Amino acid sequence: MKRRITLLSIVIGWTGLTLAAVPAVAQEEESKPKPAAKVYSPPIDATDQETQQPSDTLQPDQRPLTGVQTPTLGTPELRHSYWVPGIQYGNTTQNQALNLPNNSGWYSNNYVAGNLSLLEQWSHSQLSLNYSGGGSFSTDSTIGNGYFHELGAMQAFTWSRWQLQFFDQFSYLPESQFGFGGISNLNIPGISGTLGPPLPGLQANYVPNQSILTSAGSRYSNAGAVQVVYALSSRGSITLSGSYGILRFVEAGSIDTDDEIGSIGYNYAVTKNDTIGLVYRFSAFHYSGNPQAIGDQSFNVAYGRKITAKLALQLYGGPDVTNFRVPIGGETSRISGSGGGTLNYGFKRGTLSLSYDHSVSGGSGVFFGSRSDMLQTSLNHQLGRVWSGNMQFGFARNQSLVNVAALGSQDYTAWFAGAGLSRSLGHNASLTFGYTARIQTTSLPVCAAGTCNTNYLQHLISGNFQWHTRPLVLR
């Protein structure tokens, strides 16, 4: 492999960025020694970590409509800067999805990990970090033992008219991130529940696509972004952003991808709760060892509505122009459409989340560019003082931009659907278990080990235990 970015290099880079930025902020504060970390009462207004936050303890979501992040119902009120370490054990028991000669029966994957969440706030800046990582152990000899890592980090600076934000989302996983871990917290870095700082929450089109389930083996993905917001008035603002993403596969047989994305948007608050916007986004996709490169331009009109703790809605859509460095079927460009939206809805004792995106993506390690549709939704409901139920569903369709001679364009359609239960064990631990089905069909057969298949079906039974300390207050 020509390039390999490790988790250590990303953490070192983030640490350097933070250390460079903090002194400038610290000059505005009175210099005084800080006490050693101590245990205080919870640093945010919360009782059970699974319980929905009341509206009077949530701060309004300030994410710009035309920015790189998805909207939220709000953020918990912060009392202290703190960090929380924890441990996690997860297990998934599943059947062999493909009918290959050497596949037999069911196997089990075990995950043992350490978790860390940190939230540090100064007068004009905030650092949040969520990390989970550890070892994975499989009873299937073809999978073997390995490790996994997930990281989400954000450094934000705020002044009277300006906002400057840095984001990073990293993962090293043994399989596709789409539906990874089933009904468990394995796919969420850091400490789950209200103690976990808000994740970067980058929109789907800013994160390398991994929604083809049969792309081969372990892979690492990283999306780093920077965003600047300038308030023109009390109602209007401009958003500038840029991001760089990679998708790398450890085993041979899949396509490594790089993407660079830049956007500019204008936001206008029509009312206290309603915002409209215009956004232009340019995306470039490059492929290791291949001359093809794809440039994609989208022009979207956007609408957003936010009611703290009740509703966060975002809709966008418009024309899309795609250009090819190497002509495809004699074409050097195509015109189509792009669009999507996100919805977060809070109701008594529960939340509903939904997101959809239709755009050109990097190809998910299988194609040199694809036209992608991705839908994901989840429902969480508090069933009692300690029990909660959750359901999830995902759909993804990837259609190759390149036609296969005499066969047409190949496409993959994948689903996952699951349901489960969670139980809090006091204030510091939780137990989750559930069932998930993962299904994939393709218009052309996928061949491996001398056997060709058009269907992929996997049943996955998951269990997860998490424990963490009480918050350790930094100041």
pLDDT digits (tens, 9 = 90+) for 353-386: 999 999 999 999 999 999 999 999 999 999 999 9
Tens of pLDDT along 198-212?
889 999 999 999 999
The pLDDT score that the predictor gives to residue 408 is 56
CA distance 319 to 331: 18
87 and 467 Cβ atoms separated by less than 8 Å: yes
pTM score, whole prediction:
0.86
Greatest mean pLDDT among 32-36, 46-50, 182-186, 199-203 lies in 199-203
Residue 17 has pLDDT above 70, yes or no: no
Percent share of the chain, pLDDT over 90: 68
CA distance 171 to 209: 12
Q: What are phi and psi of 24, to 5 degrees?
A: -65, -35
Residue 42 has pLDDT above 70, yes or no: no
Mean pLDDT for the chain overall = 86
Specify the residue for token string 């409509």: 65
**Residue 148 is inside which H or E element, if any?**
strand 146-158
What is residue 55's DSSP assignment? G
Q: Set out the domains of the chain in order of their start, with CATH numbers.
A: 7-28+45-473 (2.40.160)
165 and 198 Cβ atoms separated by less than 8 Å: no
The pLDDT score that the predictor gives to residue 54 is 52
CA distance 226 to 389: 36
Question: Which three-class secondary structure state does DSSP give residue 416?
Answer: strand
Provide mean pLDDT across the span 29-34: 44
Residue 34 has pLDDT above 70, yes or no: no
Residue 347 has pLDDT above 50, yes or no: yes
- What count of residues does the chain have? 475
Tens of pLDDT along 132-176?
999 999 998 878 899 999 999 999 999 999 999 999 999 999 989
CA distance 178 to 355: 14
CA distance 117 to 126: 14
Residue 283 has pLDDT above 90, yes or no: yes
149 and 8 Cβ atoms separated by less than 8 Å: no
CA distance 193 to 426: 13
Provide the b/e sequence for 191-216 (b: ≥16 CB within 10 Å). bbbbbbbbbbbbbbbbbbbbbbbbbe
Specify the residue for token string 């993407």: 259
CA distance 443 to 441: 7
Nearest residue to 203 via CA among 182, 223, 186: 223
Q: What is the DSSP string of 82-101?
A: EEEEEEEEEEEEEE-SS--T
Q: What are phi and psi of 343, to 5 degrees?
A: -140, 125
Tens of pLDDT along 435-474?
999 999 998 776 655 566 778 899 999 999 999 999 999 9
CA distance 229 to 223: 20
Residue 312, judged by CB atoms within 10 A of its CB (0-12, 13-18, 19+), counts as buried
CA distance 307 to 349: 17
CA distance 375 to 355: 6
Tens of pLDDT along 404-417?
444 457 899 999 99
Residue 320 has pLDDT above 90, yes or no: yes
- Name the β-bridge partners of 473: 38, 82
- Name the β-bridge partners of 372: 359, 398
In the chain, the amino acid numbered 197 is: P
The pLDDT score that the predictor gives to residue 41 is 43
CA distance 383 to 294: 48
